[in-house]
Structures are given as C-alpha cells and as structure tokens.
C-alpha cells in the first residue's frame, strides 16, 4: 500500500508541474492567398497595416519553431520591432514564399498562450535569400521579454538559452 501512495503523490506532483507551465510566445507568419482557395484552407482577415480585407492561408509558412535568433528594437508608439533570424527550414520557406507570392502580403500573428493577433504586414516585393525578416513594430514589451527568454539575441555573447 505504501508504494501505491508514493506513486500517487509523485503522479500528482508531475501533473501539477505540467499544469504550471510558463506561457509560451506564439509567432506565426501567414501568406496572403487567393480568396477562391476555399474556407478549408484560408481565413478572412483585415490586414493590420493596409486595413483592407483579404484572405490568408490557415497553415503558417513560418513559425517560432523556425526562429534561431532575434534582435529586438524599440519602435514608436510604445511597441517593439524585431529582426528574426530563421533556421535552414525557415530560410528555404522564406525564400520560396517571397519568390512565389510576389505582390501578396505576409502577415505576422503574435501572442501569448495561443491567442494570436495580427501585428505586422509586409508586401512581398522581392525574394529574401538571407533568412532575416525585420518587423518594424507591433510587439509588446511582454512579448519581447518572452522572445528574449526563448531565443538568443544577436550581439549578446555568452548567453545561452535552454
């Protein structure tokens, strides 16, 4: 009976630890698509910069999983901007979408705990080969703090992220 109690206590402790996870930063980049692609593959939005109505692909082209480093900057209006450096998969995805979707928009969604909001929009005008994407503004201080905890900051040596 004693081993059963110990097992139940350990199980309860593990469940408690799992539920006390820190909030994660969600960062997704969706490309504009043809409105005729259908509701199963696209979502209607109002673009954050141009304020026009449009449709983006439901599946993101890039996400926080593709980011390897960041470089945050202060922007006007109390928000922050950031340069995102992508891994090999992200470089290929960014190069592909910037080549095949010229003239369309790329929209960034960011948020904490799974709730994303549209924060930036770029019109794709040329291929991006270096794997760097600059978001001039739109991120909150809390979002930048979470990004700093998760990713190394370009130029800050000796600080490893776990």
> Strand pairing partners for 45?
54
Residue of higher predicted confidence among 116 and 123 = 123
> Strand pairing partners for 123?
105
Per-residue confidence band for 146, with pLDDT thresholds at 50, 70 and 90:
very high
Q: Quick check: 87 and 95 in contact, CB under 8 A?
A: no
| pLDDT above 70: residue 6 | no
- 23-150 has CATH 3.50.50.60 classification: no
pTM: 0.79
What's the burial of 73, exposed, middle or buried (CB within 10 Å: 0-12/13-18/19+)?
middle
Q: What is the mean pLDDT of residues 99-126?
A: 89
Per-residue confidence band for 100, with pLDDT thresholds at 50, 70 and 90:
very high
From residue 17, alpha-carbon distances to 12, 13, 20, 22 in Å are: 9, 6, 5, 10
Q: How far apart (Å, rounded) are the C-alpha atoms in residues 136 and 158?
A: 26
């Amino acid at each position: 009976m004693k081993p059963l109690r110990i097992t139940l206590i350990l199980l309860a402790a593990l469940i408690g630890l799992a539920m006390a996870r820190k909030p994660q930063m969600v960062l997704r980049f969706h490309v504009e698509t043809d409105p005729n692609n259908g509701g199963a593959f696209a979502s209607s939005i109002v673009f954050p910069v141009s304020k026009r109505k449009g449709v983006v692909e439901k599946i993101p082209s890039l996400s926080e999983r593709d980011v390897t480093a960041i470089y945050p900057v202060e922007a006007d209006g109390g928000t922050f901007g950031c340069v995102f450096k992508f891994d090999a998969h992200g470089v290929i995805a960014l190069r592909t979408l910037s080549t095949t979707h010229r003239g369309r928009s790329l929209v960034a969604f960011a948020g904490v705990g799974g709730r994303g909001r549209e924060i930036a929009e770029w019109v794709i005008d040329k291929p991006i080969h270096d794997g760097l994407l600059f978001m001039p503004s739109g991120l909150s201080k809390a979002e930048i703090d979470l990004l700093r905890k998760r990713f190394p900051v370009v130029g800050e040596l000796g600080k490893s992220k776990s």
